[in-house]
């Protein structure tokens, strides 16, 4: 039975009838359902978790950012306030209270999503969705994550004109370091440790690994990061990656790039990790916790894809065309389970686009202007193309870089590490990329993304009046730097 929503409508075959059924209530799924309902489609939303919001709200973006902010407050109280003339007594960590606050933030947002779906008339079904074919979705009786809807006896069958699959993704498990849920864990367990580890290894130098490494290092753990590729945050601007590594090492994290983990043994209360370094030497560390954060893979288990004819690509992602359509008529897919970056905001935009396409509108996502952020401190953020990509493709460009050490607001905050770098086409001056490392880079990148979405040039940003003193002046100065005329930098 549905948990909430509008009056039932029976199909000719006896099942409940909808215009659209969305499977998965993460950022892509619930946004697709709400937008579809706004456009007049009678919409059902199927979710196997007991709460809406998917990985992002429950065990991903939101709880990790809550812990990042709390741990940053703790770190500042320990070492960062004296320079501001603020004296504090003995600073103590109350981890249980910090975790309760994190859970409270998650609870507030997941309840908020539930209220939004209800207010928009979306009918929510608790259970595991399974596609039976074009226009038919079976919902398992249990909303437990382990129930993949493969049983038939207690299933509810929903019929619809269209189906949108938004199943999300799971953490990748390394064969040499299988999860045991206690000593060798994914980011899910790392969000809820009941004590600060004395020593901790993070395998993977991407966004998830570095964010959780930052949390536990700030709270007192001795953290070592192991990254297989030559740099942290692989694929990002080289200067951003180098700058971030420098700042994290300054904060006490040990970083090893170009290492390959060959063994992880969990024995007793400790785990031992062995890795081979690029120069041939071996590294062996004994720690309390090992976080494996080497990426995520599409979650497609139990969806009935093979049986109904939905195809997967070589990466295990659901194959779609440019309008999100799968090989099965009327079945669409979005989010982490399809090609492209596994980002909540990318999934949300796809949710809006697919709903609008189904409703006969002109839905569209500009994948060239999807920002990415790593919420360490300093933060790093980027949108568009990097210097390496432009050079590889033979695109002529000019760049402008402005350091936060010359920004009055950053100096006043005591957070002057980092810079803003803008890349513009050499001939047209059109913005091609923006790369920021520094305080609140996650917010600053929005201005750059908006300018790029509108086809703006570096000159457009340079001519735009920015309030003083603000961090955003760094964007303006970098834009001036593209033309070699920075005022407050060299």
Whether the pLDDT of residue 224 is over 80: the answer is yes
Same domain, yes or no, for 355 and 389? no
Same domain, yes or no, for 289 and 301? no
Single pTM value for the model: 0.93
Q: How far apart are CA 403 and CA 420, in angstroms?
A: 6
Whether the pLDDT of residue 205 is over 80: the answer is yes
Same domain, yes or no, for 232 and 307? no
Residue among 345, 364, 466, 468 flagged as catalytic: 468
Q: Is 256 a catalytic residue?
A: no
Same domain, yes or no, for 38 and 128? yes
Least confident of 20-29, 134-143, 235-244: 134-143
Same domain, yes or no, for 329 and 224? no
CATH label of the domain that carries residue 462: 3.30.390.30
Q: Which residues of 200-210 are buried (b: 16+ CB within 10 A; e: fewer)?
A: bbbbbbbbbbb
CA distance to 223, 379, 425, per residue, from 249 (Å):
10, 15, 34
Closest CA to 216 of 289, 143, 159, 144: 289
Which run of H or of E encompasses 440?
A: none
Q: How far apart are CA 166 and CA 292, in angstroms?
A: 24
Instruction: Report pLDDT for 5.
Output: 46
Share of the chain above pLDDT 90, in %: 90
Same domain, yes or no, for 215 and 262? yes
Same domain, yes or no, for 429 and 404? yes
Same domain, yes or no, for 130 and 32? yes
Same domain, yes or no, for 348 and 390? no
Range of the domain at 147: 16-56+101-170+297-365
Final residue belonging to a domain, choices 294, 312, 337: 294
Q: Which residues of 94-123 are buried (b: 16+ CB within 10 A; e: fewer)?
A: eeeebbeebeebbeebbeebbebbeebbbb
As for how many domains the chain has, the answer is 3
Final residue belonging to a domain, choices 350, 365, 380: 365
Model pLDDT for residues 44-76, shown as the tens digit of each residue: 999 999 999 999 999 999 999 999 999 999 999
Final residue belonging to a domain, choices 267, 294, 321: 294
């Amino acid at each position: 039975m549905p948990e909430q929503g509008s009056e039932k409508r029976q199909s000719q075959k006896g099942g409940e009838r909808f215009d659209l059924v969305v499977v998965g209530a993460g950022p892509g799924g619930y946004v697709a359902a709400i937008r579809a309902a706004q456009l007049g489609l009678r919409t059902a939303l199927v979710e196997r978790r007991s709460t809406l919001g998917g990985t992002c709200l429950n065990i991903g973006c939101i709880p990790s950012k809550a812990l990042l902010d709390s741990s940053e407050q703790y770190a500042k109280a320990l070492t960062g306030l004296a320079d501001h003339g603020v004296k504090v007594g003995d600073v103590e960590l109350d981890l249980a209270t910090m975790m309760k606050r994190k859970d409270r933030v998650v609870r507030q947002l997941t309840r908020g999503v539930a209220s939004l779906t209800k207010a928009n008339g979306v009918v929510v079904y608790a259970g595991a969705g399974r596609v039976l074919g074009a226009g038919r979705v079976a919902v398992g009786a249990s909303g437990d994550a382990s129930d993949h809807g493969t049983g038939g006896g207690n299933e509810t069958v929903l019929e619809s004109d269209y189906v949108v699959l938004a199943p999300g993704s799971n953490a990748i498990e390394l064969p040499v370091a299988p999860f045991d849920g206690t000593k060798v864990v994914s980011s899910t367990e790392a969000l809820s440790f009941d004590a600060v580890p004395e020593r901790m290894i993070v395998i993977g130098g991407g966004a998830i690994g570095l964010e959780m490494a930052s949390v536990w290092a700030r709270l007192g753990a001795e953290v070592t990061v192991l990254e297989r590729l030559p740099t942290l945050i692989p694929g990002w601007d080289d200067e951003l990656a180098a700058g971030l590594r420098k700042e994290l090492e300054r904060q006490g994290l040990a970083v090893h790039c170009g290492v390959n983990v060959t063994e992880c043994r969990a024995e007793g209360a400790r785990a031992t990790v062995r890795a081979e370094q690029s120069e041939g030497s071996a590294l062996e560390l004994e720690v309390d916790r090992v976080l494996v954060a080497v990426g995520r893979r599409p979650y497609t288990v139990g969806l009935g894809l093979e049986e109904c004819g939905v195809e997967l690509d070589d990466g295990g992602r659901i194959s779609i065309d440019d309008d999100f359509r799968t090989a099965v008529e009327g079945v669409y897919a979005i989010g982490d389970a399809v090609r492209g970056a596994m980002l909540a905001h990318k999934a949300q935009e796809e949710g809006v686009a697919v709903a609008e396409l189904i409703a006969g509108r002109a839905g569209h996502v500009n994948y060239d202007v999807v920002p990415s952020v790593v919420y360490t401190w300093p933060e790093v953020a980027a949108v568009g193309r990097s210097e390496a990509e432009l050079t590889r493709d033979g695109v002529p460009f000019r760049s402008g870089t402005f350091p936060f050490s010359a920004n009055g607001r950053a100096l006043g905050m005591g957070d002057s590490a980092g810079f803003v770098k803008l890349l513009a086409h050499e001939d047209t001056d059109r913005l091609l990329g923006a790369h920021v490392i520094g305080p609140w880079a996650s917010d600053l990148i929005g201005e750059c993304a908006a300018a790029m979405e509108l086809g703006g040039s570096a000159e457009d940003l340079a001519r735009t009046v920015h309030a003083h003193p603000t961090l955003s002046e760094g964007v303006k100065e970098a834009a001036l730097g593209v033309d070699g005329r920075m005022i407050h930098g060299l």
